[in-house]
Structures are given as C-alpha cells and as structure tokens.
Structure 1
Amino acid sequence: MMICSYNILTIDDDPTILDAYASILIPYQKTSLEDAVLQLEELHNIERSDIEPIEKSMNFKIYQANNGLSGIDIFLQKYKEGLTIPVCIVDMRMPNGIDGLETALRLKQIDPCVHIIIATAYSDRTNKEILDALKNNTYYIRKPFNSEEIYQLVYSLSLSYYATKTIQQLNNDLELKIEEELEKNRQKDLLLFEQAKLAAMGEMIGNIAHQWRQPLNILSLLFQKIYFMHKNNSLDAEIIDSVQNQAMDTISHMSQTIDDFRGHFEPNKEKVYYDLSSVINSTVTLLEPSFNLAGVSIEMSMQDGIRLYGFADDLKQVLLNILNNARDAIVSNKIADGKIILKTMLMSDAQEVFIKIDDNGGGISEQNINKIFEPYFTTKHKSQGTGIGLYMSRRIVEERLNGTIAASSVNQNTSFGILFPITTSLKDTDGK
C-alpha cells in the first residue's frame, strides 16, 4: 500500500498530549521480534488471539508547538517555504500567550483553507461561539478523545484540504484559460470590425465615384466651353465669371462629398445627442448614387423628432450594411422594380424606437434565414461579400445600442427590424 505524507501541526501546552497526537498519527511499524513471531504462527497455523493495530495508509509529518504564538510562527514559516499544513489540532485553553480561538483565527488569516480541530476538556467559550468565529473548516472534539477517531478525522480532513486546493487550482487555470480565450475573441472582434469597416469603405468609395461622375462631366463641359469661346474670340469677362461660378459650385459639391465620406468613417469619441431622421438621411444620401445606378429606389417614412443619445456612427454602420445587402440582393436577382422601404417609429411606451427596412430583393431561404447573423456566412460570391456585415450589425445593435435585430422573409420580400431603447427627450421643442 502506498503511504502518503502530509504535514500536521499540533498545538498544546501539555507535552504528553503532543506525544499522544504523534503516537496516534505516526504509522505503526512492527518490530523485528513481532515479524518473527508472526512468521512462526503462520508456519504452524496458529490462530492469534490478539488484534493487530490497523494499518495506516497515510504518513503524517508532525510539527509541535506548546503555545499559540509559536504554533503560528511554525505555520507561517512553512507556508512561506511552500509547505502546506492542511490540519491543525489546537488546544483551547493555553495559559501562556493567546488562547486556541485566537490562535485558530490567526492561522486562518494565513491560509483560509486550513482545517482547524479544537481539542479541549474545558473551555471558556461555547461551541457555538467557537464555530461562529471560525466559520468553515472547523471541528470540535473533547478530551479525552478516541485515538482512531482522531486519526480518521485528520486523515479525511487532509484529503479534503488537498482536494479543495486541487479544485481551486483547476478553477484558477480555467479562469486563466477563459481570460485568454476572451482576449483572443476580443482581438478577433477587433479584426472583424476593421474588416467590416474596410468593406464599408470600399462601398463608399464606389459611391463617391458615382457622385463625382456628374460634377466631373460638368467641369469638362465648362472647360470645353471656355476653349471654344476663346477660339472663336467670343470669350468675355461676363462669361468667364459665369463659368467660374459654376465651376466653384461644382468643386464645392465634390468637396462636400469628401467631407461626408470622411465624417462617416471618423468615429465619434464621445456620446452625443443626435436626430434619428438626420442620421438616416445622411446615410441614404451617401448611398443614393450607386442605388440610382442600380435602379433601386429608397422610400422613407420617418417619425420626426426622435432624438437619441450615443454614437451615431454605430447606427450608420448598421444601416449601411442592411441597405447595401438589400441593393445587392435586388441586383443579383435582377428585380426590375427594385424597392427599399425604410420606416421609423416610436413604440407605444415611448421608450423604444423601431426601425423597419423592407426590400423586394427575392427574399431569404428558410435554411439561411437563421444563419445570416453568423460570422462569415454569406450567400454572395466570395468576390462580392465577406459574411461579416450582418454579424457586426447584430453585435453593434446588441452591445452598443442595447437592442435587438431580427430578419424575416415572406413572399420574396425580406424585412429587417431593429428595436432599441431611448432614454432622452423624444420631441423637439417646436412640438413635432
């Protein structure tokens, strides 16, 4: 049988009691004479009339102290050395220094997991007082005690101590592993946000190209006009002023497009009050050129005066993802009369706002409708979609807007609903 070794601290002002603990806890070892007698009895089949001592499976290393303070010093020294003492047997009444209760309290301050066995014949404190003070892992025995009970109690408490320590270590390791995984997920989310942002920037660059096409054509015509009029000697100051004014207006419009684009992708560093309709209008304005080119119309029905508090760019990002997906679905399914309908409204309790976006882009299959908010899921070709737009939209709505987002598909039509709370004033001062 394998013998396990654990450290035990016994504290008592009576040396005979300390020796008694040692004799109880130190494994019984047969003498050479006892071994010879046993072999002789086995050889002659002699039945023994006496009872052998119980074989003990745990080898305790005993540390002894004759008062509370010296016991605490031993316990602390071993603790600093990395040697744990799972069980301490403490006498309650010790005339020199501190009593057993105070000793036990100080031991628990060093190692809260230590098991305390209070042993005494008389006590100035009640059992309830002792147990209330020491809380958990405290046991009470009276002298004179049964040797086998002492051994079994110390044995079971030692096993319990190391089982608890093992579980604590496993929990610590698990918490560390969880934190590492959470950090990995945070980094992954940051990467997804950046990918989503880059994908949206790609969309917006395309929109800028569409918005600039007409102004560039106007500038080209103005330059040609000046050239031909100069060639025909018909160019005068009035015409130059007129062309200059038209050119400057066109360039100003192009500059405003850049400002709108830059403002959309420069995230707000602080929360602000913003008007919901204004945010939606500015987002749709950025998309209109590409939508017009694709033959997709956007109809809006918005309740005025809804003011929110937060990061407006979060909502813009969600709207961009949903609207761009709707346009792509309409184009991909070759819908002749592509249409998107966007509505906003306050709920009946005036504490939540609801945004509904419908499109007739062919709908979403039943097998895919429950997957569209998963990361990297897309029904588009790899060159057209990354599968992170709607996933990030869900994350933004749930984590940044404290709301919910859902999708449904009926009769080749797709509908997205966004519901989130508002905690600010709902109406403008003009009573809208």
Structure 2
Amino acid sequence: MNELSISYKCQNSIGNSLKLDEMIGETLETFIDETKATYASFYLLDNKHNKNIVSLGKTIDYDVNNLLQQTNENKINIYKYDEVFNLLLYKLEKGLMVCSYEKDSDFSFLESIYESLRKKLNMSINSCINMMNLENENKKLSSKASKLEERIKKEKDLNKKKDKQIFEQMKMAQMGDLIGNIAHQWRQPLSIISTAASGMKIKQEHDMLSSEDFSSYANKIVENTQFLSTTIDEFRDYIQESHKEKDVIIQDRVKMALQIIEPSFDVNKIKIIEGNIEEEPISFRLISGELLQVLISILNNAKDALCENKIEDKWVKYSVSKKEDKIIITIEDNAGGIPKEIKNKIFNPYFTTKDKNVGTGIGLYNCFNIVTKSLKGNLTFGNTQLGTKFIIELPIYEVTTN
C-alpha cells in the first residue's frame, strides 16, 4: 500500500499548472520527496537542442549531451555516476528527466513508478508547450486587434462589408483566450482518465484489481471521454457561430458535474453531501455546456482548497432550489473560507487563491463571465462558519410551448 500511495501522490502532482516550469517544478519536488531522490532535473528537447527547465536537490556535475547519447526512447536507463550514486535517465516525448539515487535504492520499484507516469507526464508537458505557443499567438493577435480598432475609429464611413471583415479579424484576437479556457476545462477530465487508467494498472500489478474496481474505472474513463468529445463539439459550434441554445434540467446538469468530478473527490477523500434539492424538475434555456463548466470549476476550486488547507474530514455540500423568480444553486465547502484581504479579487482574471504552482487564475473569472453575461444571472460567495459558499442565481423565464 505504501508503493500505491507513492504512485498516487506522484500522479496527483502532475498537470496542476499550464505553465511548464511551474508544473515540472511541482512534479520534481514531489518525486524527490516520495521516491527519496537526491537530485532531479528536467530538460526540454527541441530539434536536438536541450534547455534546462527546472533543477532541484543537491547539484551534481554531468554532461547532459553525453547522457542523451546513452538513453533509449521509451526506456528508463540507469547510469553509474560514482561509487555512491546512480543516475536514472527518463526519456519522454519532448524532454529528459535526470534523477540521482543512492546505489542501494530499489531501482525496479523506481522504474515501475516512472513508467506508470509516462503517459500523464507526456500529456501534461505537451499541454504546457501548446499553451505557451497559444499565448504567443494570442499576443500577436491582440496586437493586430489593437491596430484594427484604431483603423475603425478613423474609417467610420466604411461600408457594411468592410465592417464585417474587421469584426471577423477582431474575433480572432479572442481565440487564444477561448482556447485557454477550454484547455483549463479539459485538464480535470484528462487527469481523471489518466488516474483511472493508472489506478487499474497499479492495482492489477499488486493483485488488488477486483471486477467491481475495473468496471468503476472503465465507466469513469468512458464518461470523461464523452465529456471531452462534447467539449470539442461546443468549440466547433462557437467558431461556426452556431450558438444553439437548448432547454436543460438544472438538477441533471448538477448531477452530471458531480459525476465528472467524483473520481478526483474519491482519491482525495472528499465527501459529497446532498442538501436541499427541488423535487420538481427546473428547466432552463442555455448554450450547451456553459453551466456545466461553471459547476465543475467551482467544485474543483473547493477540492483544491480542501487539499491545500489539509482539512481532515473534507466535504462539499450542494443544493438546488427555486425562490420566487430565481433558480438558486449553492456549493459549500469546509475548507476554512477566503481571507478578507482577497475577497474583492477572486473574480479577477489571472488571480488565484491557490499556490502559484497549482492555479492559473482563469477558472473563477471565466465562471463569473458565463453566469453574469451569458446566463444573465449572478455569481456571489460568502464565508460560512467552516468554509465558503458559492451561490449561482439564474432568472426563471416562462417556457413557451408550440
């Protein structure tokens, strides 16, 4: 069980940021703590060049180019460094990890841990690199948008066709932000899929995989791949301007969000408590996926706060109710609450209440924009005796039938 615990902790340290240096730094720090490495370093490989991103632990001297010549793709190599230490060379799709261990370490166990993390590490590294590229493109597009705005002010007499062309070019400047939000939305289901797959593998290796475990893991993988597929469809619809609205049942949306985050809550031993749920189905018309995105983001923020504050009996409570002309959804946790000095900042873009290595700061900002602008509602929060309660208020419209 200790080996299983180490693997889970290493798994959970991967992919908590879309910034490469922060993500790798947190990952290496966990690897050093959990596997007893004396040193760990990561090099980004690009066109036969290498760039050191993060190095932690006791500094050692070596020629990374020489080590690269001794590594095999998709294979972990053990290299004798001196009479006391061996180097573990871990070649990934776009990088090389170099870790130092004492010669009497259990390298068979270490190899099994690193191999179980290969897919998730490759996925997270690729996501970070893609995000860096998108941010660079977004800067270029934003610069173009600024120039276009100046032209619009000077050329007010342009015809409708010209105005439409300018609008299309300005819209492209917003695509980088949109893709960033989607990447943020994908991170959790991708993490759940990877954790479920790794969980099956680890339990199987330790003869702990029951048929019930296998079925549960498989169901979570299918559910989250379906969610990712749906997100792709929604992104395509946005680009094609087919902002199709549909009637959904609020209780079903909340239930779907809970199903998606449930595996990560189970891993972190967070209890989900059902509060007051309106018995009569509440219908609401919205653009597909938007409310779901808000709910998942708030639930994930609660999970991160509970884990970061090391709460022992962690729980999240939710409720759905109708009050006069409003639909009210609440999500409450017992993570200790939000400090007074940052209460006015949590909905700001790129501001995060989490550690800088964990959050990007776009989740709650995006939630606020969706609820207030797209859903025409209100998103507020308040500290309770034990934690924080987020309140989503949506207007009730009369449903017309043909």
TM-score w.r.t. length of structure 2: 0.50
CA distance in 2: counterparts of 1:212 and 1:368, whole angstroms = 38
Offset, 1:422:
3.1
CA distance in 2: counterparts of 1:203 and 1:405, whole angstroms = 22
CA distance in 1: counterparts of 2:375 and 2:268, whole angstroms = 31
Find the residue that maps to 2:306 and give its secondary structure.
helix
**Equivalent residue number for residue 190 of structure 2:** 205
Segments of structure 2 that go 5 or more residues without pairing to the other structure are 1-151, 158-162, 238-243
CA RMSD of aligned residues (A): 3.7
**Equivalent residue number for residue 284 of structure 1:** 258
Q: 1:354-393 residue pairs with structure 2 within 5 A?
A: 354-393=328-367
Query: In structure 1, which of residues 402, 406, 409 is the aligned counterpart of residue 376 of structure 2?
Result: 402
* Contact in 2 for aligned 1:215/1:251 (Cα 8 Å): yes
Find the residue that maps to 1:345 and give its secondary structure.
strand
**Equivalent residue number for residue 396 of structure 2:** 422
Find the residue that maps to 1:326 and give its secondary structure.
helix
Find the residue that maps to 2:181 and give its secondary structure.
helix
**Equivalent residue number for residue 193 of structure 1:** 178
**Equivalent residue number for residue 223 of structure 2:** 257
Deviations 1:101-130 (A, max 9, x none): xxxxxxxxxxxxxxxxxxxxxxxxxxxxxx
CA distance in 2: counterparts of 1:250 and 1:330, whole angstroms = 25
The amino acid across from 1:198 in the alignment is A
Q: 1:119-134 residue pairs with structure 2 within 5 A?
A: none
CA distance in 1: counterparts of 2:263 and 2:221, whole angstroms = 16
* Contact in 2 for aligned 1:215/1:254 (Cα 8 Å): no
The 1:264–1:282 alpha-carbon spacing in structure 2 relative to 1, beyond 3 Å, is farther
Q: 1:245-394 residue pairs with structure 2 within 5 A?
A: 253=219, 256-268=222-234, 269=237, 270-301=244-275, 302-304=277-279, 305-349=281-325, 352-394=326-368
CA distance in 1: counterparts of 2:396 and 2:271, whole angstroms = 29
Offset, 1:377:
0.8
Deviations 1:318-354 (A, max 9, x none): 11111111111111111111111111111123xx211
CA distance in 2: counterparts of 1:337 and 1:371, whole angstroms = 28
* Contact in 2 for aligned 1:219/1:247 (Cα 8 Å): no
CA distance in 1: counterparts of 2:193 and 2:361, whole angstroms = 23
Find the residue that maps to 1:266 and give its secondary structure.
helix
Find the residue that maps to 2:289 and give its secondary structure.
helix
CA distance in 2: counterparts of 1:406 and 1:246, whole angstroms = 40
TM-score w.r.t. length of structure 1: 0.47
CA distance in 1: counterparts of 2:169 and 2:366, whole angstroms = 17
CA distance in 1: counterparts of 2:286 and 2:154, whole angstroms = 38
The 1:366–1:214 alpha-carbon spacing in structure 2 relative to 1, beyond 3 Å, is same
Deviations 1:46-73 (A, max 9, x none): xxxxxxxxxxxxxxxxxxxxxxxxxxxx
**Equivalent residue number for residue 94 of structure 1:** none
Find the residue that maps to 2:324 and give its secondary structure.
coil
CA distance in 1: counterparts of 2:282 and 2:193, whole angstroms = 29
CA distance in 2: counterparts of 1:220 and 1:374, whole angstroms = 45
Larger radius of gyration: 1
The 1:384–1:218 alpha-carbon spacing in structure 2 relative to 1, beyond 3 Å, is closer
Deviations 1:115-167 (A, max 9, x none): xxxxxxxxxxxxxxxxxxxxxxxxxxxxxxxxxxxxxxxxxxxxxxxxxxxxx
Offset, 1:193:
2.9
* Contact in 1 for aligned 2:189/2:228 (Cα 8 Å): no
The 1:173–1:379 alpha-carbon spacing in structure 2 relative to 1, beyond 3 Å, is same
* Contact in 2 for aligned 1:318/1:393 (Cα 8 Å): yes
Offset, 1:276:
1.3
Offset, 1:316:
0.9
The 1:202–1:255 alpha-carbon spacing in structure 2 relative to 1, beyond 3 Å, is closer
Find the residue that maps to 2:354 and give its secondary structure.
coil
* Contact in 1 for aligned 2:250/2:284 (Cα 8 Å): yes
**Equivalent residue number for residue 47 of structure 2:** none
Q: 1:29-178 residue pairs with structure 2 within 5 A?
A: 172-173=153-154
The amino acid across from 1:276 in the alignment is I
Higher relative CO (CA 8 A, sep ≥ 6), structure 1 or 2?
2
* Contact in 1 for aligned 2:337/2:384 (Cα 8 Å): yes
